[in-house]
Amino acid sequence: MITAIFLSACTSENNDNKSTGTPSITDTQTVTDTPIPTAEVTDTPIPTAEATDNPTPTTEVTDTPIPTVEITDTPVPTEVEIEGDKDMPTGKWYDKNGSTILEFKGSKMYATWWSGMEEPEEYDVAIEDEGYAKYIINTRDEYGKGFGIMSRLEIREDGTLSAYEEILDGESHSYKFVPEDKIEEERAVKDFSIEMPKVIESREIKNFQLTLSHYYIEDLGEGTYSWEIKKNEDGKYVSEFSGMGPSYVIIRDSQEVDDSFIEGVLKLLDDEKVAENNGMFFSHDENDSEYYLYITFDSREKIYIRAGSKALDKWPLDNKKFIDYAMSIISLEDL
């Protein structure tokens, strides 16, 4: 133990305590071995952030690359989108009314216009949507939106493609394309007949029309011939006979006829038993060779007979008798 002694000596004369030989002990503080308290250091370390096997969370880097804009073979869209048109047909399509074959491969169309054609014509195509209808158009400039003399192709609601020949006048071909797997079905003869009266009571013809397409007449040639009888504003009957070639007029005649001529028409209808075939309609398509007879009477009775293309052999009338009678009042020398 350590003892510290502090001595104080007073020498002032005015001090009430007289100074003696023995020093005056005033304050005594005992200092022991106890150290001044300090922060005790132990084996326990100062708390720190505990390190564990779990690393500090960081953004995990995986094998997945940072998303980028994928570049594909699809071209940047242009004003007319050529590739990726969802309504663009594929494969081969056949014209049910002719020999033309179209083949679609993406934005390309290959046309074989006639059988035996060595190399098809190639076109760049795209879909044109007009809201009320959709078309396949030629995106080159040499034919506008069409394909040579064939117009642009309309995509029909029944799944077919239709077009027509772009000529200035006369008769033109009408195209109707169907997929390769449906062409035989489309070209098969179908019966579209409807039930109509087989006896006609009226003898008053209001309108008579007989049309024969792709029909041959001696001295006139092949064409589409039409014979029509109707009443004019004066109540007189007028007989009109006309014929059209591919792009030209073959014959055109119109003249008033008397009642005896109409009686001859009624007799012809009776002899050919036309009413018994009323409502008959056989066809394999809509636009190829076709024969058509339509008659209305003042009584509102009607006769309707029709046959087309491969079904022409089902046509029940002798066309020559009708044509000869129609032309019996025509002088070919005056035409």
Q: Which two tokens stand for residue 14?
A: 């005015």
pLDDT-wise least confident of 39-48, 164-173, 290-299, 303-312: 39-48
C-alpha separations of 201 from 166, 208, 268 in Å: 45, 16, 15
Distance CA 118, CA 129 (A): 33
pLDDT band for 189, please (50, 70, 90 cuts): confident
- Written as one letter, the residue type at 322 is F
Over the chain, what is the mean pLDDT? Answer: 79
pLDDT band for 26, please (50, 70, 90 cuts): very low
Residues 178 and 222 occupy one common structural domain: no
Mean pLDDT of 55-71: 52
- Residue with more model confidence, 286 or 137: 137
Q: Give the per-residue pLDDT at 7.
A: 33
Q: Give the per-residue pLDDT at 77.
A: 46
Q: Any idea which residue has 């073959």 for tokens?
A: 250
Q: Give the per-residue pLDDT at 187.
A: 79
Q: Give the per-residue pLDDT at 86.
A: 75
Residues 199 and 322 occupy one common structural domain: yes
Residues 124 and 202 occupy one common structural domain: no
pLDDT exceeds 70 at position 141 = yes
- Residue with more model confidence, 275 or 169: 275
pLDDT exceeds 60 at position 30 = no
Beta strands of the chain (E only): which ranges?
A: 2-8, 24-31, 91-95, 101-105, 108-112, 121-129, 134-138, 153-155, 161-164, 174-179, 190-191, 205-217, 221-231, 237-244, 249-257, 281-283, 290-297, 302-308
Mean pLDDT of 297-312: 91
SS3 19: coil
Domain annotation covers residue 231: yes
Distance CA 125, CA 1 (A): 115
Domain final position from 187, 202, 226? 187
Portion of the chain with pLDDT greater than 90, in percent: 53
Distance CA 68, CA 145 (A): 39
Which among 10, 5, 1, 56 has a CA at the least distance from the CA of 32? 1
Q: What is the DSSP string of 142-194?
A: TTTTSBTTB-PEEE-TTS-EEEEB--SSS---EEEEEEGGGHHHHHS-EE---
Residues 196 and 180 occupy one common structural domain: no
pLDDT exceeds 80 at position 286 = no
Residues 240 and 171 occupy one common structural domain: no
For the chain, the domain total comes to 2
pLDDT band for 81, please (50, 70, 90 cuts): very low
> SS3 breakdown of the chain: % helix, strand, coil, rounded to 5?
15, 35, 50
pLDDT-wise least confident of 46-50, 70-74, 91-95: 46-50
pLDDT band for 308, please (50, 70, 90 cuts): confident
Distance CA 141, CA 318 (A): 50
Mean pLDDT of 184-202: 90
Q: Give the per-residue pLDDT at 37.
A: 47
pLDDT exceeds 80 at position 32 = no
Which among 151, 161, 174 has a CA at the least distance from the CA of 103? 161
Residues 255 and 229 occupy one common structural domain: yes
pLDDT exceeds 70 at position 59 = no
- CATH number of the domain within which 217 lies: 3.30.1560.10
Residues 144 and 270 occupy one common structural domain: no
Q: Give the per-residue pLDDT at 188.
A: 84
Q: Give the per-residue pLDDT at 334.
A: 63
Residues 160 and 220 occupy one common structural domain: no
pLDDT exceeds 60 at position 36 = no
C-alpha separations of 91 from 180, 306, 334 in Å: 8, 34, 54
Domain annotation covers residue 147: yes
Residues 217 and 330 occupy one common structural domain: yes
Q: Give the per-residue pLDDT at 15.
A: 38
Q: Give the per-residue pLDDT at 317.
A: 95
pLDDT exceeds 70 at position 176 = yes
Q: What is the residue range of 254's domain?
A: 191-334
Q: What is the pLDDT of residues 207-243, one digit of tens each?
A: 999 999 989 999 899 999 999 999 888 889 999 999 9
Contact between 106 and 73 under an 8 Å Cβ cutoff? The reply is: no
Distance CA 270, CA 264 (A): 10
Mean pLDDT of 181-191: 86
Residues 220 and 100 occupy one common structural domain: no
Q: Looking at the DSSP assignment, which residues form a beta bridge with residue 191?
A: 282
Q: Which two tokens stand for residue 219?
A: 């001295």
Q: Give the per-residue pLDDT at 125.
A: 95
Domain annotation covers residue 75: no
Domain annotation covers residue 10: no
Q: Running DSSP on this structure, what letter comes out for residue 46?
A: P
Q: How many CB atoms lie within 10 A of CB 303?
A: 21
SS3 84: coil
